[in-house]
Amino acid sequence: MPDSRIHSSAPAAAPAGKQSRARAWYETYGQAVYSYVRFHVASADEADDVTAETFLKVLAAEERFDPDRGEARVWIFRIAQNTLRDHHRRSRVRRHTSLGAMRDLVADAPTAEERLLWEEEVSRLLSAVGELGARDREIIGLRYGSGMDTSAVAQILGVRESAVRTRLWRALGRLRVLLEDDTA
């Protein structure tokens, strides 16, 4: 299951200086943002680019971030959403996932063969996710990519948690149909 270890506050204790703050933001949210982005792009390289761009935007805008108006996590994921949208607009890349692009996939596989099978499974899953509509892709990316729970996803999407659960359930249903069609 996705972990929910993401902090929901700004790295206030981080030392001053942009480079130090960059590291602090990244340490807190880097993994989650990267994994979220990774659910939307075809390769690790693209995910690197979008993640780096997201954190450059975070650094450029951090003076404007007001913790009283919302959680840092929500703020950062909205920046990530916009960055991802811009990326797709610029590149207009057709979504596809090749096995060679899975170098960043975490696998607890004892053998190389099992790792390959896992890569293949994830590849097919993400290809199917890529065929879903934008709303479905977004909610799956936030829930499973970033590892946030439905409550956090609801905050980012600005909807009620019950709505997130419903949308997620429907998205999974549509994903299931796509996978079954693919298998057939």
Partner 1 sequence: MIADFADPRDLDALLGRIQFRPRASLEGEVAGRWARGDRPTPNPTPVRSRLVWLGVMLLLLGAVLYLMQSQLGLARVRTVDRCCEDFDGGGDRDDGMLVVSRRGSDVQRLAIYEDLDGSRSYTAGDALRFDRTGRPSLQQPFTAGMRTFELCCRDYDGGGPADDAVVIMALPPDRIAMAAIYERLPGAEDRSLR
Among 48, 62, 149, 161, binds partner 1 (CB under 8 A): 48
Show the site string, 145-164: x = touches partner 1 by CB under 8 A, - = not.
x-x-----------------
* Closest CA relative to residue 163, chosen from 176, 150, 177, 152: 150
67 lies in the site for partner 1, by CB under 8 A: no
Q: How far apart are CA 126 and CA 56, in angstroms?
A: 27
Number of residues that bind partner 1 (CB under 8 A): 50
Q: How far is CA 59 from CA 52, 62, 64, 156, 172, in A?
A: 11, 5, 10, 20, 35
**Cβ pair 102, 119 in contact under 8 A:** yes
Q: Which residue stretch of 13-21, 131-139, 148-156, 157-165 sits at the interface with partner 1 (rule: CB under 8 A)?
A: 13-21
SS3 111: coil
Show the site string, 14-43: x = touches partner 1 by CB under 8 A, - = not.
----xxx-xx--xx--xx--xx--x-----
Tell me the two tokens of residue 49: 């680019």
Tell me the two tokens of residue 75: 């703020």
Query: Interface residues with partner 1 (CB under 8 A)?
Result: 1-2, 18-20, 22-23, 26-27, 30-31, 34-35, 38, 44, 47-48, 51-53, 55-57, 59-60, 82, 86, 89-90, 104-106, 117, 121-122, 124-125, 140, 143-145, 147, 169, 172-173, 175-176, 179-180, 183
